[in-house]
Amino acid sequence: MFPTTCFRNELVRFNAKALLEKLEGKRLVFVGDSLNKNQWASMVYLLIKGLPKFLRAEINAGAMNLEWPNGRRPKWDSPILGSGGRRALLEMCDYTSGKWVFDNTSRPLYNESDCPYMSAQVACQKYGRPDQDYQYWRWQPYNCNLKRWNSTELWEKLRGKRLMFVGDSLNRGQWLSMVCLLQSVIPAEKRFMSEQAHLTSLRAEEYNASIEFLWAPFLVESNSDDPMGHRLPEKILRPDSNLRHASQWIHADILVFSSYLWWRKGSVKLLWSSEENGVCEEIDGLKGMELAMDTWANWIESNVDPLKKQVFFVTMSPTHLLKQEWEPGKGGNCYDEKLPIKNQTKKSNHDLPTMRMVEKILSRLGSKVSVINITHLTALRKDGHPSIYRKFYGKLSLEKLANPSSYSDCIHWCLPGVSDVWNELLFQFL
């Protein structure tokens, strides 16, 4: 007689809540090498995905402590805290959900005039900006606190390493912010700034460490790769080749990539590596960016071991070129804006097609890349741009001078300012 029911011999489905119940009041410790560390990270990820939102998350001396809404507090210890643990911490702390808090006690983190490497493009006080409040805003996530900035601690993290920012002028602004944040704790005679072709670097002798910037606005090879002479009538790029740039960034220990602004400037022309006759194909910026990002992602997949090299991608920095985007019916742009956008709970829909495309490509890279999502928090800072308070190259016409909005820079960011917060987020990961 056949049984009415057959029982399959299969593994029990993973249940995060049930496992936490078994771990209540206990310590689960993974001891071993990098493979064991990966198993620890896997456990953290599984529990994060299967549990409700946390109340608090901490990492201390290799231990991860999570506090959940029911007040229970399980704990996992790892002998080595690797990139998996860092990413888990930032995923639990939803730093993208928060508000800008005015803080004239702990801000700014440095003074514009005290940074000897300050760029005329973002030195807003030097070029006459009358207000200073844009320097005093601090980003506060709703459900957690960001680690307090500590320059000496970060230098220790960077000891013997190369931190390299790769991208366009916005990424250069983040690099400059990092330089200004860190340079003050290094005696002048023990830090050296050097510029070699596409690469600019601040080196701290005491730590045998460097903070570098590589100009690569498209992340692939292009006719705009000269950091000084890139204002050309048309943009031509090789979407399938980043060998020249990669030969520089492959030697870095920590990489911070960003690419967006240059893709917004109309169509691009493609010159494939296999084409020998110089025939170019013209396509729109979004499609060009997708091709370039795909080439970049292929390089990451083939060349990055997350246990040896940390890679970050900073999401797009919104512009404030149209005032009607935050005040419907109003004309103008960021000129004369002195406060962040009031409705801080409204999520930014800034360039959704590009955001989705980038998210799709990044998702395939898994733990090889950590994403620093600055888009929403940056979209709220209509007040943080240089506007007219920066050095402009070339003489401005009387007509433009009579209409400040016509030449306001609503793309880049004054320093100290918004870019410092991007680096505070990077500090959380590091």
What is the model's pLDDT at position 293?
Answer: 95
Judged by average pLDDT, the poorest of 87-91, 161-165, 348-352 is 87-91
- Domain total for the chain? 2
User: Does residue 270 sit within a domain?
Assistant: yes
Distances (CA, A) of 243 to 54, 67, 137: 43, 46, 40
Q: Is the dihedral of CA 43, 47, 53, 58 positive or negative?
A: negative
* Closest C-alpha among 401, 410, 388, 302 to residue 128: 388
Do 106 and 175 belong together in one domain? yes
Name the region of 132 (left: φ>0; alpha: ψ -120 to 50; beta: rest): alpha
Share of residues in the chain with pLDDT > 70 (%): 82
Q: Among residues 225, 351, 409, 420, which one is catalytic?
A: 409
- CA atoms within 13 A of residue 332's CA, in its CB half-sphere: 13
Residue 84: pLDDT band (50, 70, 90) is very low
Q: How confident is the model at residue 22 (pLDDT cuts 50, 70, 90)?
A: confident
Asked if 338 and 414 sit in the same domain, the reply is: yes
Extract the tokens encoding 296: 């970049």
Rounded to whole angstroms, the Cα distance separating 418 from 178 reads: 12
Q: Which of 68, 92, 116 is the last residue of a domain?
A: 92
Mean pLDDT over 248-274 rounds to 90
Q: Which two tokens stand for residue 48?
A: 């994060």
Asked if residue 323 belongs to a domain, the reply is yes
Based on the domain organization, do 32 and 121 belong to the same domain? no
172 and 61 co-located in one domain: no
Mean pLDDT of 278-301: 90
Last residue of a domain, one of 72, 92, 112: 92
| 417 belongs to a structural domain | yes
In terms of domains, do 280 and 420 share one?
yes
Per annotation, catalytic residue among 224, 412, 419, 420: 412
Same structural domain, 35 and 113: no
Residue 78's pLDDT is what? 40
Q: What is the CATH number of the domain that holds 37?
A: 3.30.720
Poorest-pLDDT segment among 89-103, 115-129, 245-259, 307-321: 89-103
Q: Tally Cβ neighbours within 10 Å of residue 282.
A: 13
Q: Which residues contact 424 (CB under 8 A, 6 or more apart)?
A: 139, 146, 149
Query: Do 82 and 141 have their domain in common?
Result: no
Domain co-membership, 38 together with 157:
no
Quick one: pLDDT band at residue 220, thresholds 50, 70, 90?
Answer: very high
Find the domain containing 52 and state its range: 16-92
Examine residue 2 and state whether it is found in any structural domain, yes or no: no
Q: Yes or no: say if 350 and 379 are a contact pair by the CB < 8 Å rule.
A: yes
Q: Are residues 420 and 272 in the same domain?
A: yes
DSSP letter string, 378-397: HHT-TT-S-BT-S--SSPPP
The SS3 of residue 270 is strand
**Residues 107 and 255 placed together within one structural domain of the fold:** yes
* Buried/exposed 365-374: b ≥16 CB within 10 Å, e otherwise: bebbbbbbbb
Q: Do the domain assignments include residue 86?
A: yes
238-276 burial string, b = 16+ CB within 10 Å, else e? bbbbbeebbebbeebebbbbbbbbbbeeeebbbbeeeee
Global confidence as pTM? 0.80
Output Rg (C-alpha) for the chain, integer angstroms.
24
Residues 63 and 184 in one domain: no
Task: Clarify whether 169 is annotated catalytic.
Answer: yes
pLDDT tens digit sequence for 384-406: 999 999 999 888 889 888 999 99
Q: Which of 92, 122, 151 is a domain's end point?
A: 92
What single string gives the DSSP state of each residue in 199-249?
Answer: EEEEEEGGGTEEEEEEE-TTSS-BTT--SSS---SS-EE-TT--HHHHHHH
> Read out DSSP for 313-373?
EE--------GGGTSTT----STT--S--S-TTSPP-TTHHHHHHHHHHHHTTGGG-EEE-
Look at residue 110 and tell me if it is in a domain.
yes
What whole-number distance in Å separates Cα of residue 103 and Cα of residue 109? 11
pLDDT at 59 exceeding the cut of 50:
no
Query: Is 11 within the bounds of a domain?
Result: no
The predicted-structure confidence for 307-344, as pLDDT tens digits, reads as follows: 899 999 999 999 999 999 888 889 999 999 999 998 76
Report helix, strand and coil shares of the chain as percent, to nearest 5.
35, 15, 50
Rounded mean pLDDT of the chain?
Answer: 84
Q: Are 41 and 64 a contacting pair, CB within 8 Å? A: no
Q: Say what the pLDDT of residue 276 is.
A: 59
| Residues 175, 171: Cα–Cα separation, whole Å | 6
Q: Which residue among 78, 83, 168, 169 is the active-site one? A: 169
Residues 297 and 360 in one domain: yes
Question: Does position 80 have pLDDT exceeding 50, yes or no?
Answer: no
Neighbour tally for 66: CB within 10 Å: 22
Burial per residue of 184-219, b for 16 or more beta-carbon CB atoms within 10 angstroms, e otherwise: bebeeeebeeeeeebbbbbbbeebebbbbbbbbbbb
416 assigned to some structural domain: yes
78/405 Cα distance (integer angstroms): 54
Look up residue 76 and give its two tokens: 């996992």
DSSP 149: P
